[in-house]
Amino acid sequence: MTREDQTSLLNTIAAVGLAPDADARHEIDEEGWPPLRSRILGHRLTGLALLACERGMLVLSENNHTELRGLHRDAMALALELESRLIEVADALEEVEVDVTVLKGPAVAHGYYPDPSLRPFSDLDLLVGAQQWTVAVQTLARLGFERELPEPRAGFDVNFGKAVSWHKDHVGIDLHRTLAAGPFGLWMKPDALRQWREEFTLGGERFKRLDATGLLLHACVHASLGWRPPLLLPLRDVLTIASVESVDWERLAGWSESWGLNAVLQHAFGTAAHRLNVSVPDEAQRLLEAPVSAKELRALGAYTTDRRRRGGTALATMQAIPGLRQRARYARSLVLPERSFLKARASDGERASYLRRWMTPANWLLGRKHP
């Protein structure tokens, strides 16, 4: 099986249950299974792959089918551990009066997928208001979680950041201030999203998540801006949430226009429909036909083109920050971060060095790729 054939099969697996089952049976031999397995894991499609096997669309040997079940069992064990930790963290944040909104992962798996096991996740994403950011950070630290990276400079998180990653044992938490890094995250109004929430139950506890309209907007943002090229499970999220009746398409279109997200939503819907070969709802037509400004297209290109590897997101963020003083503050944080940040970013055996850090924008200006 060629890589192109694998890609086509992965697209079919990601769409299983959204569209009529494909007539073709895909029998995977022993040689073809290891690379396919790796890509199934990379796109977090173990649950959907098992569903494709049940429906006869994917045919594996007994040993490989057993291995797939084991991989999915591991994914579900992690999801259960994360859900258990969510209860603990949410309780601790509630005690200090931090209002938490659960994003992605369990918020989408429970109630939007026919079976939560079809939607694995590997960490927790929690959205809090900027005014409660410091208390939330202090609470995670008190619970024993450690930041992956310190702030470049004091105040960077609240003014410019998207989220901060925390880890404890096998559990990762992304504490969000907004839903995207870069210009789109700056243009959005997370507090407006948090006014439209719904409750869901997990482990006998009740949590808050964005309502279907907010979840769909976030799914589009994550699918388009999170990875290049987009991962299949976020694309599946877009079409899954878009299919529910409770989406308020007028409100979604209003948010998209007000926050400069037309290009992002069109990219997400277009990519999802193309990759999964599933039509978008008729109600999405207004979004797909909405005008897109040159500013939005330039910003989107900072995430979806090769500019991303040449500092495109950082440069686009600089352009989106209002006011020279705030732009200077952002630039100083990136160019002259605290020593603790430099040390945390240094590779094993490397010495924390401003010179080494300054080489990165120099390479951008010279057109050299930088990982």
- Catalogue all structural domains in the chain, each as residue range(s) with its CATH number: 97-210 (3.30.460.40)
Beta strands in 123-204 (DSSP E): 124-127, 146-147, 163-168, 171-176, 197-202
Low-confidence ranges of the chain (pLDDT < 70): 22, 348-349, 360-371
Residue 315 has a pLDDT of: 87
What is the pLDDT, as a whole number, of residue 351?
73
* Positive or negative torsion for Cα 355, 360, 362, 366: positive
Cα–Cα distance for residue pair 113/337, rounded to 1 Å: 43
Range list of H helices, 226-304: 232-242, 249-258, 262-276, 285-289, 294-304
- In contact, 370 and 360? CB cutoff 8 Å: yes
Choose among 148, 305, 165: nearest CA to 224.
305
Say what the pLDDT of residue 370 is: 47
pLDDT at position 40 is 98
pLDDT for position 262: 97
Q: Tell the residue number behind the tokens 């869901």, with chain if given.
A: 200
- Condensed to tens digits (0 to 9), the pLDDT of residues 195-214 reads 999 999 998 899 999 999 99
pLDDT (0 to 100) of residue 203: 85
Tokens of 139: 């609470």
Report the alpha-carbon distance of residue 3 to residue 14 in Å, rounded.
16
**Amino acid 364: pLDDT:** 62
pLDDT at 312: 83
